Every structure is written in C-alpha cells, then in structure tokens.
Amino acid sequence: MELLERTKGERCCDVAAPKLTAAGAERLAADFDILAHPIRLQLLDMLARHSGKVCVCDLEASVAVKQPTVSHHLKLLREAGLIEWEKRGLWSYYFVNEKAVRSLRARITDTLSAYI
C-alpha cells in the first residue's frame, strides 16, 4: 500500500463542518456545567418534587454540606435562571422556574438527539 504525500494543512479526507457552532457549544457546556455538581442536582431534585415553595432551612437540612455551601449552589442555580425565590420574613422560599428547566431540557435533548 502506497502512502500519498500531502502538504502541511491539507486534509486527508473530506470532513464535514460541525453542526454545533462555537456559541452553541459554549451554551451547551454552560448547561452541563450548572448540572455537573451533586449538591445542585440534589437541590433541583428536592425543588422539582415539591410543587410549592421550599424554605431554605429545609433545603439546608436535607444535604450534607454547611449553609454557606448551600447558599452558594442556590445562587448559581438562581443566576442560571433554573430556580427562583421569594422572601417571607426572615426566610427565603425557593421554587423551580419550570419554563427555564423545560428550555434547558429541550436544548440538551435537541443537541444530543443529533448523535443518535
């Protein structure tokens, strides 16, 4: 079998351009990043299973980390738009932003369905 010579930068085969744009890849990576922590997944799970609002004290008591860590993860989920909160007296009550979670699920599903 004879090897063909090629110049630097010349492709050996015709490769299609990625369907996923750089901006799309950045967005998808950010989506995966927000979900890529066990505490955030546990907090989302608790909030999703309770249709009403959950007090921060109940969230803090339900995971194996201290209050500052729970607050940090809740802040990240709020900044990502996946959860919302309201203040009642001294306590904050959290709930899932269903529209944002549906949008996140659709983005991930649409992208991954291209691979099957």
Domains annotated on the chain, with CATH: 25-113 (1.10.10.10)
Q: What is the pLDDT of residues 12-63, one digit of tens each?
A: 776 777 778 899 889 999 999 999 999 999 999 999 999 789 999 999 999 9
Q: Are 57 and 70 in contact (CB under 8 A)?
A: no
DSSP bridge pairs for 88: 91
Output the pTM of the full model. 0.81
In Å, how far are 26, 70, 71 from 66, measured between CA atoms? Answer: 31, 7, 9
Closest Cα partner for 27 from 116, 111, 113? 111
Q: How many Å from the N-terminal Cα to the C-terminal Cα in the chain?
A: 34
Query: What is the spatial distance between Cα 57 and Cα 91, in angstroms, rounded to a whole number?
Result: 8
Amino acid present at 85:
W
